[in-house]
Amino acid sequence: MRYSGFRIIKEALTGNRGWQPAWRNPEPKPHYDFVIIGGGGHGLATAYYLAREFGKSRIAVLEKGWIGGGNVGRNTTIIRSNYLLDGNEPFYEFSLKLWEGLEQVFNYNAMVSQRGVLNLMHSDAQRDAYRRRGNAMHLNGADAQLLDAAQVREMVPFLNFDNARFPIKGGLLQRRGGTVRHDAVAWGYARGADARGVDIIQNCEVTGFRMTNGKVQGVETTRGYIGAKKIGCAVAGSSGALMAKADQRLPIESHVLQAFVSEGLKPTIKGVITFGAGHFYVSQSDKGGLVFGGDIDGYNSYAQRGNLPTVEDVCESGMALMPMIGRARLLRMWGGIMDMSMDGSPIIDKTDIEGLYFNGGWCYGGFKATPASGWCFAHLLATDTPHETATAYRFDRFRKGLMIDEKGVGAQPNLH
C-alpha cells in the first residue's frame, strides 16, 4: 500500500477500513540466503537496501525484542555530517544525502527536518579547530559555515552570552544537519523491506551460531534453528555479547547513554545546539519538548537505564549554556546501550569466519549513519567488497594502528 494525501482522504471517507498492517508477522523459514541479526535502524536498512539496491531475495531480519525498541528509538535524533577525518567525512556525507531523499524513496514520513546543527566555540583554539573541520567538510562536498559571536547571538539570543563561565566566541553551523523522528526510521525501513519480501521476525533472539570448517551455516534462535548462506550482525550495544557466541572478541565496549525530554514549551530552539565547553546537545521536538543529552555514564553496562551522577552532569552543562533550562520540568529520561569502539569510529567488515559479517562500533553517533550504514553493509554482504565510502571501517585498523580517531583522545571508549 502506498501512502499519500489521496490515500488519507480516501480512507477518511470510507471509515478507515482500508489500512493494512505496515509489515507482516511471518513464521521463520528453515533457510535464507541472508540473515540479518538485529532489527534496529542499521539491520532494517541493510535488509531494505539488499532487496532494493542489490536485487537480493530470501532475506530475514531477526530481532530479539520489537522493531524500534533499541537505540534507533532511544537516541536524541540528531543527524549531521560535520566530521573531520577522511575515513569518516565521505561516509557521513553520503548518509546525509540519503536522508535528504529518504522519505520519498521509502514512502514514509520520518519527519526529516534539516533545521541546522550549530557547534558553539568558546576559545580561539576551538575556532582554529572548527575552521579546519569546516574546510575538511567543504573538501568533501558538505556544507559548513563559520559564525562569529554576533551572528550566533542573532540566531540564538537566549544563550548565556553576557555572564558566562565559558564565553561564546562563535560557532560552526551545518545548515543541512537537523533531526529525524527516530522510531519512524525503523518503521519506514521495516515497511519498505517487508514490501520487498524481507521476513521481519520479532521476538526471535539469536542464541548461537552453527559452523562447520570455519564457515557459518546458520543461527540458533529462541524460535529454532535458521540456516543462512550469509549472516550480518547489526546489534549495536549487544555486539560484544553476540559475537562472543561466535568466539569473536571485538575492540568494542558497551556503555550506557541517557537522553532527556522536558515538558512541552513554546517554540524556542530552531535547530540543534551543542555546547563546546562541556558535553551537552539540545534541540526541540515538534511537540515542544527540549530533547537533550550529554556524556555516557562512563562504566561498562548492558542495562538500558542510566544513573543520577550523569543526570546532574548533563543538567549542569545545560544550565551553563542556557540558564532558562533550569525552569523547565523534566518529563522523561531513558538509557540505551552504546557499542563504543576504541577509536570512536565504526566497523563494517567481514569476520574471520566465512559468511559472517559485522556492523557495529557506532558509539553514540550511529543514528545519523543509519542510511549509509545499511547501504554499505548491504554492499559488503551482496558483493563481498566494501562500499567506496566505508573502506576505512575495517577490523584490521586496530591491528595495524590505523585508528580513525576523530576526537583525538586515543583508545579510550569513554572519551569518544
Ligand X SMILES: Cc1cc2nc3c(=O)[nH]c(=O)nc-3n(C[C@H](O)[C@H](O)[C@H](O)COP(=O)(O)OP(=O)(O)OC[C@H]3O[C@@H](n4cnc5c(N)ncnc54)[C@H](O)[C@@H]3O)c2cc1C
Please select the residue that binds ligand X; options are 37, 110, 180, 372, rule is CB under 6 A: 37
Those residues with Cβ within 8 angstroms of residue 212's Cβ, 6 or more apart along the chain or in another chain: none
If one asks whether residue 362 binds ligand X (CB under 6 A), the answer comes out as: yes
Specify the stretch interacting with ligand X by CB under 6 A; choose among 114-122, 139-147, 323-331, 358-366. 358-366
What is the footprint of ligand X within residues 231-290 (CB under 6 A)?
A: 234-238, 242, 257-259
**What's the CA gap between 116 and 121, in Å, rounded?**
16
Nearer to ligand X, 136 or 234 (CB): 234
Nearer to ligand X, 150 or 241 (CB): 241
What mask of x and - would describe binding to ligand X in positions 49 to 88, judged by CB under 6 A?
Answer: -------------xxxx---xxxx-xxxxx----------
Specify the stretch interacting with ligand X by CB under 6 A; choose among 94-102, 121-129, 150-158, 357-365. 357-365
Instruction: Give me the least distance between CB of 113 and ligand X, in Å please.
Output: 13
Instruction: Give me the least distance between CB of 345 and ligand X, in Å please.
Output: 12
Q: Which residues pair with 60 in a beta bridge?
A: 35, 199
**What's the CA gap between 211 and 136, in Å, rounded?**
44
Compute the radius of gyration of the chain from its Cα atoms: 21
Specify the stretch interacting with ligand X by CB under 6 A; choose among 38-46, 91-99, 246-254, 348-356. 38-46
Nearer to ligand X, 25 or 123 (CB): 25
Instruction: Give me the least distance between CB of 288 and ligand X, in Å please.
Output: 18
If one asks whether residue 294 binds ligand X (CB under 6 A), the answer comes out as: no
Nearer to ligand X, 140 or 254 (CB): 254
Those residues with Cβ within 8 angstroms of residue 62's Cβ, 6 or more apart along the chain or in another chain: 28, 35, 36, 37, 38, 39, 201, 204, 205, 206, 219, 221, 226
If one asks whether residue 364 binds ligand X (CB under 6 A), the answer comes out as: yes
What is the footprint of ligand X within residues 147-186 (CB under 6 A)?
A: none
Nearer to ligand X, 137 or 169 (CB): 137
Instruction: Give me the least distance between CB of 41 and ligand X, in Å please.
Output: 3
What mask of x and - would describe binding to ligand X in positions 189 to 228, judged by CB under 6 A?
Answer: ----------------xx----------------------
Phi and psi at residue 171, to the nearest 5°: -165, 160
Instruction: Give me the least distance between CB of 71 and ligand X, in Å please.
Output: 3
- Point out which residues bind ligand X (CB under 6 A): 37-43, 62-65, 69-72, 74-78, 205-206, 234-238, 242, 257-259, 293, 336, 362, 364-368
